[in-house]
Structure 1
Amino acid sequence: MSDLTKLTIAGARDAMRKGDVTSAEITQACLTAIEGADALGAFVHKTPEIALAQAQAADARIKAGDAPAMCGIPLGIKDLFCTKGVPSQAASRILEGFKPEYESTVTGKLFDAGAVMLGKLNMDEFAMGSSNETSVYGPAINPWKVDDRNLTPGGSSGGSASAVAADLCLAATGTDTGGSIRQPAAFTGITGLKPTYGRVSRWGIVAFASSLDQAGPMTKDVRDCAIMLQAMCGHDARDSTSADLPVPDFEAALTGDIKGKTIGIPREYRMDGTPAEIEKLWSDGTAMLRDAGAKIVDISLPHTKYALPAYYVIAPAEASSNLARYDGVRFGHRAKLGAGDGITQMYEKTRAEGFGPEVQRRVMVGTYVLSAGFYDAYYNRARRVRTLIKRDFDDAFAAGVDAILTPATPSAAFGIGEMADADPIKMYLNDVFTVTVNLAGLPGIAVPTGRDAQGLPLGLQLIGRPWEEAELLNIAYRLETAAGFVAKPAKWW
């Protein structure tokens, strides 16, 4: 078979079962592609020896007839997931040299299912960013190109999005705290799913904001999302927020039949300044679902306008608390100390050297909103707003809405460096359509559905009921089928 790296998970699974190709052959094709793609900055720690050993083991399992769906599938793993004996840096200098002695639950489940790790993927430092420009490794680059600029693949899972879009791996893990799976997926023309909070274990994933973080799959299409999600899910006693619920057969749910389903269109997502291309994409997507037999209703999510401010109080507050452990004492980077420096100077110098500017900004904001005089004014108020945002969604679902359709991003991918000197709030506005989903703990999926005037991919977002990823995936599958998005970036790297 030619173009092995272009295979989907489903296509590779079926080809390996038939004996047309081996995992070792697909893995070697991916490793070769990765070696020639340094210009993308997607893979930051390559693990070819591990990959080939896992591929050989997977081939033996497939031959023996004892192989789950993910067996033999070469994946990229976001640098936020702890992988035993492999650098797990969260794209931060402060974790330089850290090689965990344990495996995160998600990667453990994927490897138990026979998946292959090609290496670790670039990301924004500690998952804080929307453009993959805060990484200690330097930015990941979007494989899509329309002029001489390098474009962002989005963030924080920018390396994952770039690698999947450029066919360096068949799929990748991502994490989503405020849109970090869905926004990069939309920017690169791939599919990205953020599951319900608690559906996938957070154990062994470096924490950013613990009440918002959720891991999910980043894949070439909706079917692959369903297959990979199933391998990632399941109750984990080591994560107190992990839900003890049965894991459905997500792939079996992909019938494409959405007749009689009710799709909500939230009027508050029609924002001033939204480009006409995004508005058209949204109305086209609405028409596609209507033509498929869904009922379209206008809904109101009145507290949407407070979502970004609430998010940018809650997330930095939790980050400030979570990042307190990086102090130069137990693991990671420690600053060189001068004569007479004590423990306070060690903390200060280590954190000043180890954290980049965006992480420092968020830690300072978070520490401020948690401080004695401001806790009620900011943090507690943001928590109350979060409750109201969740109630908006609960009311919509109680009224019979099965899923909600919105844009995934306010624009197509922008150039690397174009927002570097801007007010940080301009960058934060990239999350305007996605943060509500994290605040409410809901599942959301970004599906590529069109291109802008320059030819860059654009995506739509579907938001589902809690724990109903199977139904959400089926509606997304129908939208994907109707949109017929098959464009790929032309190879330039």
Structure 2
Amino acid sequence: PAHCCGIVGIRPTSGRVPRTGHIVPYGLGPIDSLTTLGPMARKVEDLSLCLPIISGVDWQDPAIIPMPVTDPESVDLEALRIAFFTDNGIATPTPETIEAVQRTAKLLSAIVATAEEACPAPIARTPEIFDRLWSTYAHSWRQKLLLKAGTIDHIDPAERKKVFPAMSLVDVAEEVGRFRSEMLGFMANTDILICPVNAYPAMPHGSEDANMPAFSYTMTFNLTGWPVVVVRAGTSPEGLPIGVQIVARPWCEHEALALAQQIESALGEWPQPPL
């Protein structure tokens, strides 16, 4: 949504912000990382102010870890190692999207330790893993949510009886674990990863299913559970905003926010629309 609207947003590390009271519950097993909550705002500064307020143990959501929220002002930008890529090999972005990532990387290369073009190899498996995870686990969660809302009659009877063998559940959980481990291996020598949010700017409502590969750029980090900040970095020929993802290692939101602040200052803040 932040990418489509030209504002900023943050997806905190899975396990930082409690989901208590939210329509999407906690305790969903391997799909828990898909239900992370995070704010959107007009400015990066607002995200930095909001994150500490909504973070921390609430003694109800069992997945929450009491990790401190570090101030973005404390980040040593000159020590950061950045990697960036413009195409994940799944959905090729528009030329303007590629340009936005390249512009961002060039901007940051002047203020960080290193900036090199590199794409983690496991990313190529994102759609397959996400599809298996979603179809195997999310079906049960969706059914429970519809039951809670009193809309069970809207579920196709065949879908209502859909079951999966226990071994397939184990297989999917193991596959997700391997994916996360391999992705972490890439970040051993990288602090920040810069990439597109989507292959396209905002699309017409209802066209998502036909363009699902374009969403693979965010699917990857929903699977890993890592923190991501989205900030505007370009504009399409139609005048639509184009954002970039600033992906950090687990619990390092402060580093992503610090770089987002630099991008926002250099490439332009949220523009006030004419009234």
Rounded Cα–Cα distance in structure 2 between residues aligned with 1:278 and 1:254:
29
Opposite residue 351 of structure 1, the aligned amino acid is: I
Alignment-mate amino acid for residue 371 of structure 1: F
Which amino acid is the alignment partner of residue 99 of structure 2?
K
- Between the aligned partners of 2:123 and 2:145, the Cα distance in structure 1 is 34
Contact 1:301 1:389 in 2 (8 A): no
Report the Cα distance in structure 2 between the residues aligned to 1:222 and 1:367, rounded to whole angstroms: 46
In structure 1, which of residues 233, 242, 262 is the aligned counterpart of residue 81 of structure 2?
262
Pick 1 or 2: higher relative contact order, CA cutoff 8 A, min separation 6: 2
Identify if the C-alpha distance between structure 1 residues 256 and 487 changes in structure 2 by more than 3 Å, giving closer, same or farther: farther
How many Å separate the matches in 1 of 2:7 and 2:184? 29
- Kindly provide the CA deviation profile for residues 105-161 of structure 1, in whole angstroms up to 9, marking residues without a partner as x: xxxxxxxxxxxxxxxxxxxxxxxxxxxxxxxxxxxxxxxxxxxxxxxxxxxxxxxxx
Deviation of residue 468 (structure 1)? 1.1
Which residue in 1 is equivalent to 2:19?
202
Partner of 2:122: 303
Per-residue deviation, 1:367: 7.3
Q: Is the 8 A contact 1:207 1:322 kept in 2?
A: no
- Aligned equivalents of 1:443, 1:466: Cα separation in 2: 6
TM-score, normalized by length of structure 2? Answer: 0.86
CA positional deviation for 1:412: 0.8
Structure 2 unaligned spans of 5+: 26-30
Please tell me whether the aligned partners of residues 7 and 41 of structure 2 are also in contact (alpha carbons under 8 angstroms): yes
Tell me which amino acid in the other structure corresponds to 1:214.
T
Give the superposition deviation at 1:410.
0.8
Distance 1:456 1:212 in 2: 27
Equivalent positions of 1:407-418 (< 5 A) are 407-417=196-206
The alpha-carbon distance between structure 1 residues 294 and 327, as it changes in their structure 2 partners (threshold 3 A), is closer
| In structure 2, distance between residues paired with 1:479 and 1:403 | 14
- Post-superposition offset of 1:271: 4.9
RMSD: 2.7
The 5-angstrom pairing of residues 401-440 of structure 1 reads: 401-417=190-206, 419=207, 424=209, 426-440=210-224
| Distance in 1, Cα, partners of 2:152 & 2:274 | 41
Instruction: Find the aligned partners of 2:6 and 2:58 in 1 and give their Cα distance.
Output: 32
SS at match of 1:259: helix
For 1:453, the equivalent position in structure 2 comes to 237
Q: CA deviation at 1:235?
A: 1.1
Cα deviation digits, residues 33-55 of structure 1 (max 9, x gap): xxxxxxxxxxxxxxxxxxxxxxx
Alignment of 1:218-367 (within 5 A): 218-248=40-70, 250=71, 253-254=72-73, 258-266=77-85, 269=88, 271=90, 273-326=92-145, 332-333=149-150, 350-353=151-154, 364=159
Change (3 A) 1:268 1:415: closer
Q: CA deviation at 1:224?
A: 0.4
1:193 counterpart = 2:4: no
Distance 2:15 2:175 in 1: 21
The corresponding residue for 2:185 is 395
**Structure showing greater Rg:** 1
Q: Quote how far apart the aligned CAs of 1:459 are.
A: 0.2
Kindly tell me: are residues 268 and 382 of structure 1, through their superposed partners in 2, closer, same or farther at Cα, counting changes over 3 Å? farther
Number of equivalent positions: 270
Encode CA deviations 1:359-394: one digit per residue, 9 max, x unaligned: x69x94x975x512xx545x4443333223212331
Structure 2 counterpart of 1:301, which letter?
A: P
Q: Which structure dedicates a bigger proportion of its chain to helix?
A: 2
* Alpha-carbon separation, structure 2, partners of 1:489 and 1:408: 23
In 1, distance between residues paired with 2:127 and 2:232? 24
Secondary structure of 1:322's partner? Answer: helix
Q: Larger deviation: 278-287 or 390-399?
A: 390-399
Aligned equivalents of 2:90, 2:139: Cα separation in 1: 31
In 2, the alpha carbon distance for the partners of 1:276 and 1:380 equals 40
TM-score of the aligned structures, taking structure 1 as reference length: 0.50
Change (3 A) 1:326 1:301: closer
Question: 1 CA distance for matches of 2:145 and 2:89?
Answer: 41
Q: Give, as a single letter, the amino acid of the residue that structure 1 aligns with 2:193.
A: I
Give how far 1:435 is off.
1.1
1:446 partner SS: strand
- The verdict on how the C-alpha distance between 1:448 and 1:201 changes in structure 2, with shifts beyond 3 A counting, is same
Task: Give how far 1:295 is off.
Answer: 1.1
Alpha-carbon distance change, 270 to 291 in structure 1, aligned in 2, over 3 angstroms = farther
1:441–1:332 distance in 2 versus 1, CA, 3 Å: closer
